[in-house]
Amino acid sequence: MADTEKITVVIVDDIAETRENIRKLLQFEPNVDVVGVARSGAEAIKVSAETNPDVVLMDINMPDMDGITATERIRARLPGVQIVILSVQSDPNYMRQAMLAGARDFLTKPPDLDELLSAIKRAGEMAHQEKRKAANTLAAVQAGGLGTVSGTFFPARYDGKVISVYSPKGGVGCTTIAANLAVALHSEESPVVVVDSRVQFGDLTFFFNEQTKTDLGDLATRAEELDPDFVEEVLLTHSTTGVRILAAPPRPERADPVSATQFSMIVQFLKRMFAYVVIDTNSGLDEVTQAALDESDLLALVTTQDIPSVKNARLFLDLLTAYGYPVERVFIVMNMFDKRRTTASPERIADITKTEVAAVLPFDDRLVTPAMDRGVPFLPENKTHPISKGIFVMIRRIKAKIEELKQAEVDAREL
């Protein structure tokens, strides 16, 4: 069926004459309605939000905000709106950037009428389709059928639980534990994704001997319009276990785009795709780490029996309490435990911190470090090994704690 609906258009260019020329070109087109004009990137965002057009004709070089940035922002807020870039440069690099920002088409200036009209028609039909799809999904959501996260709708597959593995001090085994916990929790019925939230110096993929071209940064730039297919494309699959991995950006200079809000949106989205989301965190309390802790159903606080590590765990728990964090979500995992050492026993640590020690993982340099060096999680091959047994104990406690927290919520509601 032909699309006879009118196509609404916004024209963006900093030069008045250019805007006027395009407007004149379009004024005799019965199916095209110019509903707004803007002189800058910032104005383009404002006018688009006010008019929700089908198509924005966007200039690139403008004084305050360039057209590529404006394209990205408009696409993030109004995913149905299609953007056609008009530029004097026909440089493929510009084109690539424009496409990455979410532009639908790219024309060189000045466009001839036929070229312009067919681009508007293609983009307009796409806009109508996407808007219809969104309206249908919205109707389904209102009927109670679907879940909604950050503006994107899709049926939730799981009511996933988020478990962060954290320590105020580095080098105590967080990544080792996150990787092996993910492997041990994972099954076909309850799939696991493990997330590297160490935006700048993440090293999780090394524990799985996997390399990636896509990472957290790719999801962050589209955090407001995620869809399951795109997320699947970005995730890695560990070849031997099937655990999914969300890698950190491979180089620190790629790390800046991830904000706390974006990270939270990503985690909320993953919860609907996976039964468990395991997050390996940074030992500092940067904003992404804070977002990870906020999104967590459970927080595994890793400590060793070294006095400074125990002291830090305790200070951290004090800090959480001071901030009103629900400390009932926290449990301690003692790693690198050596019973010959007389420093701090698990009982003593539970006593000092007033927090459950859910698992004690022995020091084992014959198994753990060589496994890391080879990039294979130790657990699948060594299920009866004491440290693996420790991980299984941890999982039993995690499952029990999830039930306890659920029950506490029910009780609180009944009060």
As a whole number of angstroms, the distance between CA 52 and CA 54 comes to 7
Residue 372 binds ligand ADP, judged by CB under 6 A: yes
Binding part of the chain for Mg ion, among 158-166, 175-183, 267-275, 373-381 by CB under 5 A, reads 175-183
What does the CA dihedral 217, 221, 226, 227 come to, rounded to 10 degrees?
Answer: -70
Partner that binds at residue 183, options ligand ADP, Mg ion, none, CB closer than 5 to 8 Å by kind: none
CB of 311 to Mg ion, least distance (A): 20
DSSP string of 104-167? SEEEESSPPHHHHHHHHHHHHHHHHHHHHHHHHHHHHHHTT--EEETTEEE------EEEEEE-
| From the list ligand ADP, Mg ion, none, partner contacted by residue 172 (C-beta under 5 to 8 A by kind) | ligand ADP
From CA 197, how far away is CA 4, in angstroms rounded?
47
Q: For residue 335, what are its two tokens?
A: 């790693």
Q: Which residues contact 356 (CB under 8 A, 6 or more apart)?
A: 331, 332, 350, 397
Contact 43, 68 (CB under 8 A): no
Q: Is 289 one of the binding residues for Mg ion (CB under 5 A)?
A: no
- Tell which positions 109-168 bind ligand ADP, by CB under 6 A: 167
* Angle made by CA atoms 361, 363, 365, in degrees to the nearest 5: 130
Picked from ligand ADP, Mg ion, none, the partner binding residue 229 (CB below 5 to 8 A depending on kind) is none
Among 67, 160, 173, 249, binds ligand ADP (CB under 6 A): 173
Is residue 387 close enough to count as binding ligand ADP by CB under 6 A?
Answer: yes
Among 11, 22, 81, 174, binds ligand ADP (CB under 6 A): 174
Binding mask 323-362 for ligand ADP (x = CB under 6 A): ------------xx------------------------x-
d(CA 131, CA 122): 14
Letter string b/e over residues 43-67, b meaning 16 or more CB atoms within 10 A of that residue's CB? bbbebbeebebbbbbbbbebeeebb
Judged by CB under 5 A, which of 175, 264, 353, 355 binds Mg ion? 175
How many residues sit in the footprint of Mg ion (CB under 5 A)?
2
Chosen from Mg ion, ligand ADP, none, partner binding at 344 (C-beta under 5 to 8 Å by type): none
Choose one: 90-98, 146-154, 171-179, 235-243; the region binding Mg ion (CB under 5 A): 171-179
387 binds, among ligand ADP, Mg ion, none (CB under 5 to 8 A by kind): ligand ADP
> Which of 48/167 has CB closer to ligand ADP?
167
> Of these partners, ligand ADP, Mg ion, none, which one is at the site of residue 246 (CB under 5 to 8 Å by kind)?
none
Contacts with 390 (C-beta within 8 Å, 6 or more apart), sequence order: 359, 360, 361, 362
**Position 289 contacts ligand ADP (CB under 6 A):** no
Across 300-317, b (16+ Cβ under 10 Å) vs e yields bbbbbbeeebbebbbebb
User: Site residues (CB under 5 A) for Mg ion?
Assistant: 174-175
User: Site residues (CB under 6 A) for ligand ADP?
Assistant: 167, 170-176, 335-336, 361, 363-365, 368-369, 372, 387
